[in-house]
Structure 1
Amino acid sequence: MWFRNPFPHFHKDADFQIACDQYTDRRNRPNGGFTFVRSNVRTLQFYRFWYHARHSFPGMHDQDVLNKIKFDPFLDAIGLKVRFLDTAYFGGFCEPARNLNWACTMHANCCVGLGHKIHDLNVVLGDWKHYMSLPADSRGSASLTWRAPQRCRYVSGVDFRSCSEFCLFF
């Protein structure tokens, strides 16, 4: 879900920028739900490499293949600059943006089942509508955050009900 202009938060020097499930550094697990790519020779070479790499990892999803090749020396050899997008601006259900004043996007990652994703994205949309209905001068001081995830609670062994640091509610 796209809330506000993300362009000011892109890295000026990067060729390939991608969302991630949790934000730390290049060890991040890529999440193809939001990607910004500069069209140039490096990214064309990269996409060809990524496409052909699928043969080395049969049966794997494109994100998983990317996770396998993100440290390949070929990327350094072509000079590709890869950056992960900070979840403070490009959040998801694994790690939602904690501050609605900064949030640009929300992705339904870490969620199994289309019905669960739709439900929780509708909750996010309701939260955003509530936030936008506040007077503009009070939004900046508002300590509002997301009520989601709700149905997207158990993914890869993560119990979102016990994650007090980012499962905050209105």
Structure 2
Amino acid sequence: MAADITTSSDFYFGDPDDLGNFPNTGFIYFKSTPRKARAMAYWHAARRRFPENHDQFVFNEIKRELAGELGVRMRFIDAATVSRFCQLGRDLNRIATVHMTCCIGLENKLFDLKRVVEDWKRYMAHPLWERRMGEIGWTFEGGRCIH
């Protein structure tokens, strides 16, 4: 069965179906169906229960309710392909994108994002056979947000 909602996560624990993963709703996908529309309405309405918190916190709080009460199936994207600042993927051969999670402030995000681009350019400058060996990685010593 396909997932109703697919999202990246701030912390991914190895199982794409594990509701224990912490979602990052800045990168979320769902195809519109009546059940998914109900899920989005439920999420929006749940914000009243957590008035001091942002939508991602609310989603994390209600993800089990969505799965149980509405039967919504969630999948979390493997950290190996959607790398995040708070859980940096190590295999540059598998990473499709880098999401600037766990980073506060535009200046800090731009500082570390520039380093991501520099490292990617360095990685791509190596011959394909060297890249496939998986030994070329990030150089994030001294980053502002990178964990």
Note the residue ranges of structure 1 that are not aligned, 5 or more in a row.
1-11, 154-159, 161-170
2:14 is aligned with 1:22: no
- Deviation of 1:34 after TM superposition, in Å, equals 1.5
Aligned to 2:61: 68
- Separation in structure 2 between the aligned mates of residue 21 and residue 144 of structure 1, nearest angstrom: 24
How many aligned positions are there?
142
Contact 1:46 1:75 in 2 (8 A): no
- Deviation of 1:110 after TM superposition, in Å, equals 1.3
2:123 is aligned with 1:134: no
TM-score normalised per structure 2: 0.88
Contact 1:19 1:34 in 2 (8 A): yes
Moved more, 19-28 or 46-55: 19-28
Note the residue ranges of structure 2 that are not aligned, 5 or more in a row.
none
- Separation in structure 1 between the aligned mates of residue 46 and residue 69 of structure 2, nearest angstrom: 16
- Could you list the runs of 4 or more consecutive aligned residues of structure 1 that deviate by over 4 angstroms after TM superposition? none
Aligned to 1:4: none
- Separation in structure 2 between the aligned mates of residue 147 and residue 50 of structure 1, nearest angstrom: 39
Aligned identity (percent) is 38
TM-score normalised per structure 1: 0.77
Q: Name the aligned partner's letter for residue 83 of structure 1.
A: R
Contact 1:91 1:105 in 2 (8 A): yes
- Report the RMSD for the aligned CA atoms in angstroms: 1.7
Report SS of the residue matched to 1:96: coil
- Deviation of 1:17 after TM superposition, in Å, equals 0.8
